[in-house]
Amino acid sequence: MAHASATQRDTASYRWWGVELIAFLFRRKGGKRLTITDVITYLFLILGTVVMFFPVLWLVMSSFKPITTLYQTPPTFFPYHPVTVQVPGYPEPLPLVDVRQADGTVKRMARVGRVVGIEARVIDLNAPHEPPVRVRLENITPVQEIRFDLTNYTTALERFPFGVYLRNSIVITISATALTLLINSMAAYALSKYRFRGRNVIFLLILSTLMVPLAVIMIPVFLVISRVGLAGNLLGVIIPPAATPTGVFLLRQYMLTIPDELIEAARIDGATEWRIYWRIVMPLAAPALAVLAIFSFMWRWNDFLWPLIVLGGRSDLATLQLGLQSFQGELNVQWDLLLAMTVLSLLPVVFVFGILQKYITTGIASTGLKG
């Protein structure tokens, strides 16, 4: 990793090529030397990255572990599976173990039956028909291999109505987002491009509801929802949250920048108001609509309290988030399956984040929308 200016530097401190490499990677842009503040910055950021990423990585790795090694202490990072062997005379495959013999050598054998107390029974692979020998547990190490096994995933999909949850989540997310884009942009168009009686009152009303979280009105909301027959109905999760004040505000601010002359010209050409909205304003507001679409997707996909109140205990209508919560709330949490389901419900968000990261970060930085 020789650098053009390498000779000009204090060669003593860069003698070791490893240092040279690290220095190259972490040198500031423009080839300036690292200062102590830079080093601290990098250490802080690397530590932070580990704290932010590692739990997710740990979740993914754990989701591939079989129940036999999932609770192993100390746990391993990679998913280890016990290696089994088919032995004549035994219907089930037996786990392989390394057994330390009295003379200090290690012999590969197969374990039989359950572990009782501090002893286990093993059989010789070369003489499977001889009766098992009792060995103390401390002389036994199970043979394991790293394997990314999908058993947890397939079992979880069979055992739980994951498909139903997934369908509910997708239906809610897509239709609520479409509805949000439509009605928010309509309201934003009227509020930004028309002068009419009551406009300011309506705008202020919308702005003030920005500050009303569901947490403080959940009881009357539940009443209203059940009165209009939307309790225990997917529409109850789709329609009410679609009228986001944030969306109206964001789109209105953007539409204010669209020149009025365009609209006037279209009006002179005989376009109806609806056509102006749909053919001229909507395409021009596409960037803001895209930002709102991404956020609406995130909001609805991750929503918890609203579906919890509206859908109640109906498991056939539960979203992914509600499904996950109900399984983790059970008395005997089946972590092997729960972990696999958690990973599956995390994938769409990772996918969206991966491709649309720029929109999301600039959207937040410029509008303060919550992800």
Partner 1 sequence: MELTTVSDKPILLLARWLKYVLSLPVMGILYVLDAFIGRLERLIGQKRMPYLFVLPNMLIFSIFILLPLILNFVFAFTGGNSIVPANRPWVGLGNFERLFACSDIWDISTCREDVFFFAVRNTFLFVLVEVPSIIVLSLLVALALNRDIRLRGFFRSAFFFPVLLSPVVVALIWKWMLQTRGGLINTILGFFGIQPIAFVLDGGWMMFWAIFVSVWAQLGFYALILLAGLQGIPPVLYEAAEIDGASELQRFWNVTLPLLRPTLLVVLVLSLIRGVQMFDHVYVLTGGGPGTATLLTVQYIYRTAFEPPNNWGMAAAVSLMLAAVLAVLTIIQLILNRRQFETV
Contact set for partner 1, span 221-260 (CB under 8 A):
221-226, 228, 239-240, 242-243, 245, 248
Q: At what angle do helices 36-62 and 335-367 cross, to 10 degrees?
A: 140
Question: Three-state SS for 142?
Answer: strand
**170 near partner 1, rule: CB under 8 A:** no
Query: Looking at 59, 85, 140, 284, which residue binds partner 1 (CB under 8 A)?
Result: 59
Smallest distance, partner 1 to C-beta of residue 103, A: 33
Site for partner 1 in 21-50 (CB under 8 A): 25-30, 37-38, 41-42, 44-45, 48-49
Query: Looking at 13, 86, 141, 328, which residue binds partner 1 (CB under 8 A)?
Result: 328
> Interface mask (CB under 8 A) for partner 1, residues 197-216, using x and -?
--x--x--xx--x-xxx-xx
Q: What is the three-state SS of 112-123?
A: EEEEECCEEEEE
Distance from C-alpha of 178 to C-alpha of 186, rounded to nearest angstrom:
12
Of 48 and 93, the one with the shorter C-beta distance to partner 1 is 48
Smallest distance, partner 1 to C-beta of residue 84, A: 21
**Quick one: which segment of 84-92, 100-108, 138-146, 350-358 binds partner 1 (CB under 8 A)?**
350-358
Distance from C-alpha of 151 to C-alpha of 165, rounded to nearest angstrom:
20
**Quick one: which segment of 107-115, 122-130, 135-143, 191-199 binds partner 1 (CB under 8 A)?**
191-199
**17 near partner 1, rule: CB under 8 A:** no
DSSP strand pairing (140-142 vs 144-146): unpaired
Query: Looking at 148, 272, 314, 316, which residue binds partner 1 (CB under 8 A)?
Result: 272
* 197 class by beta-carbon count within 10 Å (0-12 exposed, 13-18 middle, 19+ buried): exposed
> Residue 302 phi/psi, 5° resolution?
-95, -5
Nearest to 184 by CA among 274, 273, 248: 248
Smallest distance, partner 1 to C-beta of residue 228, A: 7
Strand partners for 145: 81
Contact yes or no for 82/69 (Cβ under 8 A): yes
Site for partner 1 in 89-148 (CB under 8 A): none
Site for partner 1 in 145-164 (CB under 8 A): none
Q: Which residues contact 106 (CB under 8 A, 6 or more apart)?
A: 98, 99, 100
Smallest distance, partner 1 to C-beta of residue 167, A: 16
Contact yes or no for 164/316 (Cβ under 8 A): yes
> What is the residue whose two structure tokens read 């168009």?
189
**Quick one: which segment of 104-112, 131-139, 146-154, 186-194 binds partner 1 (CB under 8 A)?**
186-194
**Quick one: which segment of 100-108, 117-125, 160-168, 299-307 binds partner 1 (CB under 8 A)?**
299-307
Q: Dihedral of the CA atoms 206, 210, 215, 217 (nearest 10)?
A: -20
Smallest distance, partner 1 to C-beta of residue 258, A: 15
**73 near partner 1, rule: CB under 8 A:** yes
Smallest distance, partner 1 to C-beta of residue 217, A: 4
Of 164 and 239, the one with the shorter C-beta distance to partner 1 is 239
DSSP strand pairing (144-146 vs 80-82): antiparallel
